[in-house]
């Protein structure tokens, strides 16, 4: 598959208002459709990964809301309408209800998703 939509991509994580839909789109890349409710903090679920941070790079676009991205070098705020690149070493926290789409290397992101599933039950 080389294209997908939010409604076609399967849900891989869901709970507490968090939704992650993920679909491989070719070239060893996957598209993710993500929703976080205000206050969702992924840092606890990332505990146990190197630096307790997501180690997968993401390229994407924030469709809705505001998101704080914590890194070892400090926090950055992202707002709806911004395209972004998040290098390895980050943990998101939703300052408002958020929706975004991102593209990530499939192998690296699957490692993070598997960890999140274990942590989130």
Q: Which domain holds residue 46?
A: 11-120
Residue-level pLDDT at 104: 98
The count of domains in the chain is 1
pLDDT confidence band for 106 (50 / 70 / 90): very high
- Give the pLDDT confidence score for residue 27 in this predicted structure: 84
| pLDDT tens digits, 52-81 | 999 999 999 999 999 999 999 999 999 999
24 closest CA partner among 5, 45, 2: 2
Q: Is residue 89 part of a domain?
A: yes
Q: For residue 5, is it within any domain?
A: no
Burial of 47 (0-12, 13-18, 19+ CB in 10 A): exposed
Query: Per-residue pLDDT tens for 19-41?
Result: 999 999 988 999 999 999 999 99
Cα separation, 25 vs 103, in Å, equals: 9
* pTM, entire model: 0.93
Q: Which two tokens stand for residue 64?
A: 């809705």
Residue 112 is assigned to a structural domain of this protein = yes
Residue 41 sits in a domain whose CATH number is: 2.60.120.10
């Amino acid at each position: 598959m080389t294209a997908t939509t939010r409604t076609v991509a399967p849900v891989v994580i869901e709970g507490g208002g968090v939704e992650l839909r993920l679909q491989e789109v070719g070239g060893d890349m996957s598209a993710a459709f993500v929703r976080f409710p205000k206050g969702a903090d992924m840092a606890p679920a990332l505990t146990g990964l190197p630096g307790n941070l997501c180690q997968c790079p993401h390229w994407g676009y924030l469709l809705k809301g505001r998101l704080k991205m914590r890194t070892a070098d400090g926090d950055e705020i992202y707002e709806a309408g911004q395209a972004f690149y998040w290098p390895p070493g980050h943990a998101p926290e939703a300052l408002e209800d958020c929706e975004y789409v991102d593209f990530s290397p499939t192998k690296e992101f699957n490692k993070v998703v598997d960890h999140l599933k274990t942590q989130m039950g």
